[in-house]
Amino acid sequence: MSLEAIQNRIKRLAANVNKVIYGKEDPVRLALVGLLARGHILIEDVPGVGKTMLARAIARSVSATYKRIQFTPDLLPTDVTGVSIYNQKTGDFEFHPGPVFTNILLADEINRATPRTQSALLECMDESQVTVDGKPHPLPPLYFVIATQNPIEQQGTYPLPEAQLDRFMLRIRLGYTPADVEMAILEKQIAVHPIESLEPVATTDEIRAIQNAVRQVHVSEAIRDYIIRIVTRTREHEDILLGASPRGSLAMMRGAQALALIEGQAFVSPHHAKRIALGVLAHRLILTPPARLSGVTPETLVEDILNAVEVPTQEASPKTSQK
């Protein structure tokens, strides 16, 4: 695909999702960053603000296989990954794939399942495969997990383990809509929900081509150094018990590459890195007990770090980097 064709496809994809999710252009853009950067996204917010609808809108916009798992306390790991069942006729165990074997997976209300079941997604998200009875089963080349969760203060929720959170490239929050946008939602849904008429605007092959193009977006040494300095600061901050891992650095770079491509740029600028930092880093930080008790949040700490780390002044374009 040419750069112009990629830009047109991304614009159509965003416009299609925005037909359903009104007034949330930034969260939609971040969700597409996760898809195009080959990451996974966690949509966290209170019930009723459109978490599941955003996931469904993305799934309907791509002509790919889509499955949904409704996470509940009684869900078992094998209900997610699949199970080997003995066949009396053949005398062998046959693997019956679970719902994770799809292109786009919606893990709805993931934090209502037990940690044991939540961890069933660890290998799927990190290695794109499932191992059952010692035998690996590869997942499709295009594999995208969209998980939704309610805030952990809600009744009946289990906090996601740190290892699970680290597998998500981005955590996205939608928030409540302004009154005028909510009025438009009511007006457009008097008769039917717009999700029902949503048609695919991209194929699996096109998404894969765009994902490959994301990897070609130039990231200068100055930008890579800027990203590392931000992530390193999360490991040194006095209010942070556990900072972001190298996976966080990589996620920040990949996310910035995807955001640059979405915005029509062939190279990553400090602006792209800063805009992606909050969604990439905040959910990876574990604060010290005194910081939590004093009301400090990961989001405020990431903002403080971004303000403290010096932004590179060197141009980030490929031409300048070659000089």
As given in the structure block, the two tokens for residue 270 are 């400090």
- Alpha carbon distance 200, 189 (integer Å): 20
pTM of structure:
0.89
Mean per-residue pLDDT for 55-82?
Answer: 91
CB atoms within 10 A of CB 291: 20
Closest by CA position to 39, among listed 231, 250, 287: 250
| pLDDT tens track for 125-134 | 988 999 888 8
Same domain flag for 228 and 120? no
**Cβ neighbours for 205, distance < 8 A, ≥ 6 positions apart:** none
CB atoms within 10 A of CB 108: 20
The answer as to whether 209 is a domain residue is no
Q: Is the dihedral of CA 48, 54, 60, 61 positive or negative?
A: positive
Same domain flag for 161 and 306? no
The answer as to whether 202 is a domain residue is no
Same domain flag for 244 and 174? no
The answer as to whether 204 is a domain residue is no
Same domain flag for 158 and 298? no
pLDDT band, residue 319 (cuts 50/70/90): low
Mean per-residue pLDDT for 7-34?
Answer: 91
What is the CATH number for 32?
Answer: 3.40.50.300
Average pLDDT score over the chain: 89
- Alpha carbon distance 301, 323 (integer Å): 36
Same domain flag for 56 and 158? yes
| pLDDT tens track for 261-289 | 999 899 999 999 999 999 999 999 999 99
DSSP collapsed to 3 states, the chain: CCHHHHHHHHHHHHHHHHCCCCCCHHHHHHHHHHHHCCCCEEEECCCCCCHHHHHHHHHHHEECCEEEEECCCCCCHHHHHEEEEEECCCCEEEEEECCCCCCEEEEECHHHCCHHHHHHHHHHHHHCEEEECCEEEECCCCCEEEEEECCCCCCCCCCCCHHHHHCCCEEECCCCCCHHHHHHHHHHCCCCCHHHHCCCCEEHHHHHHHHHHHHCCECCHHHHHHHHHHHHHHHHCCCEEECCCHHHHHHHHHHHHHHHHHCCCCECCHHHHHHHHHHHHHHHCEECHHHHHCCCCHHHHHHHHHHHCCCCCCCCCHHHHCC
pLDDT of residue 87 exceeding 90: no
The answer as to whether 169 is a domain residue is yes
Provide the domain limits for residue 151: 1-182
Overall domain count for the chain: 2
Same domain flag for 5 and 115? yes
**Cβ neighbours for 110, distance < 8 A, ≥ 6 positions apart:** 42, 71, 118, 121, 147, 148, 149, 160
What is the CATH number for 291?
Answer: 1.10.8.80
| pLDDT tens track for 201-223 | 999 999 999 999 999 999 999 99
